[in-house]
Structure 1
């Protein structure tokens, strides 16, 4: 059947398909975001569901926005550098190197997709994404915490090295994954109605305990800095006088409750001793082959190899463990061009988000938790590899999407707290 009739009007059959596809797309996007917490094998459900989302979005008349063109340019510019770098490998099989580069390209594209999806209706679509994210984050936090405490069957499936990981492969990814939904919950506590505030508090505390049980020092710092940023930005940019009084009282009471919860966890002997061990300096951070020594060596490799050494090559050279610094990693893996494009993507995203926060908008409450999460993520990238973290690119895309349509809101979405998730 032809999609367009002789008069230039869409044929009824095609219109039916596009309408159904557009309606189905929102359900699939929610399923896709939910699958982001199921990453025990690769390819994970996240990649597979996205392919379905992409196909349905094409049928449903998915729109591209001019305001996201910058992210598209960076995405296209990165592709040749990442492809060329894959052919520089000497020890790693070429197919493995190409797959690694393709995964990075794929994840950047998911960020571009999210940016355009959200830009069509920032409040409605960000709310859909965040609610799906909160659902899987709560499940992950409960599974991880109960697994860590040994209170469920097959608890070892949800832990690694005595640390909670839920359905992730690594506690160091699981912990930061919980931060963004916790920040939306915190914002709800600060500004929401009593009912919203109560639910937000339950979600926030649950995710806080989940992050603690990951025993990831980076995740701990990430959570604290993000929470402080949400509090500060809401206090300065959005809170009225009455809100500020409530926020000050909540800060005192909330910190007290968190201290009590933390003290309760640390009172368990096994938890207390493990916390003391994790909070101290680790042997793998020190020396020439420690974290910072590896980063220096990786930077020297980057300077000596303009085209990059290719994915996964570093572990086959002088030092077997990865450098754990995303900025150095992208330079020595994807070459000078690929590394600089990747870093430019991060810097431009930070600039867009920070610039938008300076302006009043009905959508600013969508952006505050995103930026409060993204800034520490970018700092965290200096001590851990985040270039294959799915939620990193999700947050990137959300920032681009919200800022691309920063002033766009339906009449019923222009209330002061209408964007509160």
Structure 2
């Protein structure tokens, strides 16, 4: 037997080992994303190392992912320019370093999912585990289920292993929507396996008492249901969606009534359900600061510097668009607006296409759309899961481009052969295996 014949199994084993290590590294990073107390977080430190190592061993940024990188870099350059307008730099260099790092995580997730579409399922499953764990901590904290559990609450609201319930709640939405998608499209026998973690995540969202998280989950669920309804031509499947929606709404109402019987929940809910809180409509409240900030942006096109707005007016911008103008200047604002519109337009084209990765893109897209709306009322600049959403969508954009390119005939002769090929000629047009 030749020496080459002995090398093949070893190469196959090495390739499998590398794949397992890569998968494990991605899973560990996603699991750590659910623990955010202060910056830098363990996730930040770990991902800096992971991206650096991956770059050394072949992280490839395709031309389809390059616009994401360019726009995020321009956004951060805007922050550097705005920093020159500051008399006291405070913690601004560190803040911008975190911003740039988070931008790199979006590019990283886009690049690895483009190279290995199987990572989509891995990432979403790991995200579900992380969300369930931090939800359980939040639930335990809210009900004080063990001594010291109150550390998992803030302001009487569930916060899990997050420093802010207003970030904790939105963090749970993508895994919740992903489980809802599996519940709607998966086999009936597996519904209990999906329903249990979904209930834990929904309890975490509710007990966060974050109006943004409530609206985000509701809007994302409606968009998901509507897209699934339009996507399917099967009357049976559409009927299933309608029936499941009716059942889900009924169960939610019953659960809502039951939760209201818990002492303290009704008062908190009544307070948080107000459309405008005192800090929103006060003389220098959130809405007043919007008007002041947008007027100031006309006078300061280079921005006033990261974190300065809160120093002047006592509270931060609580609006990602105003945040971009104040902290990153007009260059940052235009870059962020361009990135948002590009992501929405290019991602929308993928929603109704039958691809293996389409369900994951759909879940990420509807949640991203919700975050754009949410960003009008709260600052989402350093929300780590938002950059994950961007990466997942742009990975799908790049995959679709490659899919279309591989299907495109290379010459008129190829075009003729494609048109005259037998319908059952095999897997022509299938996406080639990825490296």
Matches within 5 A, 1:116-265: 116-122=111-117, 124-238=118-232, 240-265=234-259
Distance 2:232 2:190 in 1: 17
| Correspondence for 1:64 | 61
CA contact (8 A) 2:79 2:306 kept: no
User: Deviation of residue 161 (structure 1)?
Assistant: 0.4
C-alpha displacement of 1:107: 0.8
1: distance between equivalents of 2:304 and 2:346? 32
Is contact 1:17–1:60 with CA below 8 Å preserved after alignment?
no
TM-score w.r.t. the length of structure 1 is 0.89
Residue 311 of structure 1: SS of its match in structure 2?
coil
Corresponding residue SS for 1:299: helix
Match of 2:305 among 305, 310, 313: 310
8 Å CA contact 2:365–2:393 kept in 1: the answer is yes
Contact 2:76 2:99 in 1 (8 A): no
1:26 corresponds, among 23, 27, 33, to 23
Shift in alpha-carbon separation, 1:14–1:92, aligned structure 2, 3 A: farther
Question: In 1, Cα distance between the equivalents of 2:167 and 2:27?
Answer: 21
Q: Deviations over 1:18-63 (max 9, x none)?
A: 9855542221111111111111121101111102211331343222
Structure 1: tracts of 5 or more residues without a match: 1-12, 416-421
**Based on CA coordinates, which of the two structures has the bigger radius of gyration?**
2
Q: For 1:38, what is the secondary structure of its paired residue?
A: coil
* SS of 1:306 mapped into structure 2: coil
Please give the alpha-carbon distance, in whole angstroms, between the structure 2 residues aligned to 1:384 and 1:302.
18
Deviates more, 1:21-30 or 1:325-334: 21-30
Q: d(CA) in 1 for partners of 2:29 and 2:251?
A: 34
Q: Report the TM-score when normalising by structure 2.
A: 0.86
Question: Secondary structure of the residue that 1:405 maps to in structure 2?
Answer: helix
| Aligned with 1:98 (options 88, 93, 96) | 93
The SS at the match of 1:144 is: helix
Residue 78 of structure 1 deviates from its aligned partner by 2.6
Cα separation, partners in 2 of 1:401 and 1:285, compared to 1, 3 Å: same
The Cα shift of 1:15 comes to: 12
Which structure 2 residue ranges, 5 or more long, are not aligned?
1-9, 405-425, 431-435
With over 3 angstroms needed to count, the CA separation of the structure-2 counterparts of 1:381 and 1:56, relative to structure 1, is same
Could you say which residue in structure 2 is the equivalent of 1:278?
272
Are positions 1:301 and 2:299 aligned together?
Answer: no
Q: Are positions 1:366 and 2:363 aligned together? A: no
Range moving further from structure 2, 389-398 or 250-259:
250-259
